[in-house]
Amino acid sequence: MSGTHVRRPDDRQRGPRTVSARRVAFDVLRAVQVDDAYANLLLPTRIRRAGLSARDAAFATELTYGSIRMLGRYDAIVGVASGRRVDDIESDVLDVMRLGVHQLLGMRTPTHAAVSATVELTREVGARRATGFVNAVLRKVAAKTDDEWDPLVTAGRGGDALLATRWSHPAWVVAALRDALAAERSRDELAALLAADNVAPRVQLVALPGLATDDDLRTAVRPPDPTAGDTDADDTDSDDTRADDAAGEEPPVRAADDEPDDRPVSPVGIRGTAGDPARVPGVAAGRLRVQDEGSQLAALALTRSSDVRAGERWLDMCAGPGGKAALLAAEAAQAGATLVANELVPARAGLVRKALATVAGDDVVSVVEGDGRRFGGPGDARFDRILLDAPCTGLGALRRRPEARWRKQPEDVPELAALQAELLDAAVRALAPGGTLAYVTCSPHLAETRGQVDALMARHGDVLEQLDTAGVVRAVAARDPQVADGRTVQLWPHRIGTDAMFVALFRRTA
């Protein structure tokens, strides 16, 4: 995230005013840059505070997420168009221009509206001295399409560096994704994967087994009521806005309709929800939850890998914030099992309790706090099924967490891999003979996936066997999950529209 001379937007004196969608996007982008904020957490709050209409909320959402996803490419374009190194451009001015470039190249905002509104935003955030510069650079940007800019910003680059600029990923992430695809002989899919990471994901819901009703399923995909009022639009596809008189087009090109097959891949998954999911009755009641279908398949691979015996004890070792734990709890309640949901961070443990409150009673679920590595000590009870959804780089969820690609660094991987290995050792100790362990990451990085599996079997191959994870996931899925044959599973967003979840199943033999 480039740019110098940091200025915090909230440091300026402001009088009463109407906050525009573009200003909301700018404030969130600055907070992401300056304060390491998370866009998915901050943006809904800022949208509500600004009182944006549903249309403007959708515009702010696409403008924010799209600008962050494409930040690397847009910086390259700004550098060429301005003739300056982006590190020499004041950071707040650079952020304003990132928003302007996304409107011009990533959305269907008319040129005059995008340029004039961005110049006005430059004045509004206290950078009046830069309005002429911003105007000139954006008009240069607007003179070419995104495709026409490509040879200019990739000139002199090759290999991963070229793909990094073209698809707005750090080069080390491109290399990691290339290696992960190559491990299943799918190297030729790299461009499709990188492109999928830049498409806003469509909302996916989980219908909790035993709780969701037929009416919940019907109303979840019903077209939104145009009289229902405004929405926070946290996960919706975006529309253009009429925040200024000239902006009023169709939804932007970047939409989840590019997914090849939008049917649910999870047997409890729902796609096709329009508008704010919080307005869906089943979601409001807690019987439906917003959850990526990759996460659903990971949890179900554990619970449905074999018949459940009444009285089984299950453990979710790293349960926060509670999405997978809720699905496990619903499955446990139906099968006569019990679940212990463990979380290290007290605040996240509170989220787990909230997520489970309406799913099952205390006789089925208990939430505990502590380091997952403590399990399996002498005299501790053993568990029949354990989910280890391990802390990871999150490179499989770059569509949903746009800032993650710019924050994570290659030096983060060894530290995370060491923690993952320690958690796996604890999971093996805590697993009862005949019990099943699901190792899950939201990352396809080989050091966090196949590398961990190989190392685990080298350490514990005398008491563990690998299961046919691909066969289990295919049997669980509602349609072909398009996974490679083998004892591990890697899901991919460009194939089935889910996060790039990794799943490996093990059984303890002794």
For residue 229, what are its two tokens?
Answer: 């009022």
Q: How far apart are CA 85 and CA 79, in angstroms?
A: 6
Q: How far apart are CA 215 and CA 75, in angstroms?
A: 48
Q: How far apart are CA 170 and CA 405, in angstroms?
A: 7
Inter-residue contact 394 to 471 (CB < 8 Å) = no
Nearest to 290 by CA among 349, 202, 371: 202
State whether the Cα torsion 25-29-30-35 is positive or negative.
positive
Residue written as token pair 């989220």? 351
For residue 5, what are its two tokens?
Answer: 């001379």
Q: Which candidate in 442, 446, 456, 501 is catalytic? A: 442
323-335 and 346-356 helices, crossing angle to 10°: 40
Angle at 53 between CA 111 and CA 97, to 5 degrees: 35
In terms of C-beta density within 10 A (0-12 exposed, 13-18 middle, 19 or more buried), how is residue 179 classed? middle
Residue written as token pair 């994967």? 193
39-50 and 21-35 helices, crossing angle to 10°: 150
Told to judge if 442 belongs to the known catalytic residues of this protein, a careful annotator would answer yes
Q: How far apart are CA 440 and CA 383, in angstroms?
A: 17
Residue written as token pair 């700004």? 78
Three-class SS of residue 308?
coil
Inter-residue contact 385 to 317 (CB < 8 Å) = no
Please list, in sequence order, all residues whose beta carbon lies within 8 angstroms of the beta carbon of residue 504, skipping any fewer than 6 positions away: 438, 439, 440, 449, 453, 466, 469, 487, 488, 489
In terms of C-beta density within 10 A (0-12 exposed, 13-18 middle, 19 or more buried), how is residue 498 classed? buried
Strand order in the sheet with 288-290: 269-271, 204-207, 288-290
> For the CA atoms of the chain, what is the radius of gyration?
24
Q: How far apart are CA 467 and CA 183, in angstroms?
A: 19
Beta bridge partners of 386: 315, 437
Q: Is the bond preceding 251 in cis, omega lying within 30 degrees of 0?
A: no
φ and ψ of 325, to 5 deg: -60, -35
Please list, in sequence order, all residues whose beta carbon lies within 8 angstroms of the beta carbon of residue 176, skipping any fewer than 6 positions away: 395, 444, 445, 446
For residue 13, what are its two tokens?
Answer: 């004196």
- Catalytic residues, by residue number, are 442
